[in-house]
Amino acid sequence: MLRQLQNLTRLFKRHGKDVIQAIVDRVPAVGEEFIDQEFDGKLDKVLQAEGAAIQKLLSRDWTVDVMTLLQEFSMEELAQQLIEVAPTLWRILETVSTASASTRRKSQVFTSICAMLSVSRSQKANNYQVVIGLFLLASGSSKREMEVLAHAGLSTSYNTIKDHIHKLSAEGAERFRDLIKTQMCFIVWDNLNIAF
């Protein structure tokens, strides 16, 4: 019995693809259904793992302040990191996208899609959305526009953006206080209007 199993193993190592193709050719419904189920099961596991990796990538530790997040954010670097942690998802996105769009544009779109997927897994995986939200606020976007983009998963909500502005202000004030303790500084008034 052991010898037969060894022979069967050797056969499948050498001719496994041919045997499976023969099964599919002779009984297409059974063969294709089996292959589809196996493929779907493996793909599900891979995509779940990649989704978790994207979520981890786009989540920040509570010790990371907003200023650091903004200073270190780069769409190009994020795209490269996403390609590394989610190669299968990235390849799927490339396959379903049209060939006419530029590579740079595709990269930005795919990065946005991955960011939207991450925030759908966890509201804390919102590094991308925070940066986009702060950009929208700085660009003068209306509250309504920001809320629409927040509902689409591209940004955080207006109130969350305001909270991050307050955090950013507190972080800046703290850095300023630390700087005053270690450096010499001057207080300067500009544009004083004194009535005589």
Q: Report DSSP state, residue 27.
A: S
CB count, 10 Å around CB of 137? 17
pLDDT at 101 > cutoff 60: no
Which of the four pLDDT bands, split at 50, 70 and 90, describes residue 52?
very high
Residue with tokens 């270190």: 72
Predicted confidence at residue 35, as pLDDT, reads 66
Q: How many helices (H) and strands (E) does the chain have?
A: 9, 0
Predicted confidence at residue 95, as pLDDT, reads 85
Q: Roughly how many angstroms between the first and final C-alpha of the chain, as a whole number? A: 110
What six digits make up the tokens of 167? 């955090």
Q: Phi then psi for 28, rounded to 5 degrees? A: -55, -45
- pTM for this model (two decimals): 0.70
Instruction: Tell me which residue of 190, 114, 127 sits closest to 155, measured CA to CA.
Output: 127
